Amino acid sequence: MFINKLPQGLELKFNELCRPVVESCGLKLYFLEYQPTNKLLRLFVMDPKTQSAVIDDCVKVDHALSEPFMNSDWIPDGVILEVSSPGIYRPLSMIEHFKISLGQMVSMTIMGQLPLDLNKNLKPALAKQKKFRGSLLSVDDDQVELGVEELKVTIPFSIIKKAQLDPDFESLIQSNKNLQGGRS
């Protein structure tokens, strides 16, 4: 995975065109991807307050992009635009994604081994794992720290193969029941 991989080519042009339009709708462009072979442009948008998007948000962005798309001569003919929420299990591919996910449960797969100099107090079995699930405790420019099995695991961005939100639904259900006074 390339954390903070900058868009290039048409993806960069789409990013420059779409970001201000999405922001003018009161939303945030979480991520975009362009698949040239399918001529498919996918925008993942979210409300910064709720970190999600509803269908009306997606429709609003789609309609707002109609005019800029018609007035831009560089856009390939037949481009298909899809606008959606990044989803509950959204990928974390930019440092900003990690920062807005602080305190949430995430899962990660790494390449190679955890650097032992950053993880001196880990049990040998945990230090050899490739997959981790835990609470995202901190983020800086080079690494993240997860709370795993009551321990802190430091993972450099350079070895993260895949990362995504991984909500703890049992806790959410229990919290909801507690708020309702134990009613189901």
Domains of the chain: 9-84 (3.30.300), 100-165 (2.30.30.180)
Q: Are 84 and 44 in contact (CB under 8 A)?
A: yes
Q: Are 58 and 85 in contact (CB under 8 A)?
A: yes
Q: Are 159 and 111 in contact (CB under 8 A)?
A: yes
Q: d(Cα 167, Cα 134) in Å, to the nearest integer?
A: 10
Query: Quick one: pLDDT at residue 126?
Result: 87
User: What phi and psi, each to the nearest 5 degrees, are found at residue 14?
Assistant: -65, -40
Query: Residue-wise pLDDT tens for the chain (184 aa)?
Result: 567 677 788 999 999 999 999 999 999 999 999 999 999 999 999 999 998 999 999 999 999 999 999 999 999 999 999 999 999 999 999 999 999 999 999 999 999 999 989 988 888 888 889 999 999 999 999 999 999 988 999 999 999 999 999 998 766 565 556 666 655 5
Q: Are 131 and 107 in contact (CB under 8 A)?
A: yes
Query: Quick one: pLDDT at residue 120?
Result: 87
- Judged by DSSP in three states, 46 sits in strand
- Cβ neighbors of 90 (< 8 A, separation 6 or more) are 30, 44, 97, 164, 165
Query: Quick one: pLDDT at residue 131?
Result: 96
